[in-house]
Amino acid sequence: MKDIRIIIIIIFIFQLCFPILAQQNWVQVSDTEAGITFAIPSNIQQYDTLSTRFYASQISDNEAVQVHIFENATPDFSDEILATALAQENGDSLLTIARLMALVSDCEITSLTEIYDNGNRGIELEMNYMSQGHETPYTTVVRYFLINNNFISFAWTGETVNNPSYVPGTTQHPSHSNRNAFFQSITTQ
């Protein structure tokens, strides 16, 4: 059940977390305990509990990035529902986590891709949804890994590209440059 709580926490934080407008200065962050490095806007909110570290930054009033590190979060699929989900994904715990994210949230998965970074296998999941309190559709892209018993997720959230205020073909959607900069900055060890 810890796995489902982690997934629910990630999804709800994205849907509710858009505090103040951020500065556009990006800084490099290294979390040596998890063995990861990434770039994030300088208005970092950082929380550290006994087994969870969280970094978040606001890019604009409708765009944010977050990094979650859950220590000792080896998936436990002994619960009947979780075991069934794992069996449906042929024993692949990373794909099972993606399917559970879609199940516990009201979203549409638009992309699911296997990725690798320094030999670490991960999943990149893109999902669209309507955020609570907003009439604008949002997209969240989550790239996550299970590395050394740590569940590490990197996420970008912003307005969905097919928002009526964006005219395709005129320029790149403004949020894509931030999204790309964030994901291209990530390295795992």
Mean pLDDT by 10 residues, the chain (189 residues): 52 45 75 94 92 93 92 84 89 88 80 94 89 79 92 91 49 68 93
What is residue 24's predicted lDDT score, i.e. its pLDDT?
63
Q: What is the pTM of this model?
A: 0.79
Predicted pLDDT at 77:
83
Cβ-contact 155, 66 below 8 angstroms: yes
Tokens of 1: 């059940």
Q: Which residues contact 70 (CB under 8 A, 6 or more apart)?
A: 6, 51, 52, 150, 151, 152
Which among 123, 119, 128, 68 is positioned nearest to 97, based on CA atoms? Answer: 123
What strands, in cross-sheet order, belong to the sheet with 36-41?
Answer: 26-31, 36-41, 187-188
pLDDT at residue 168, rounded to an integer:
43
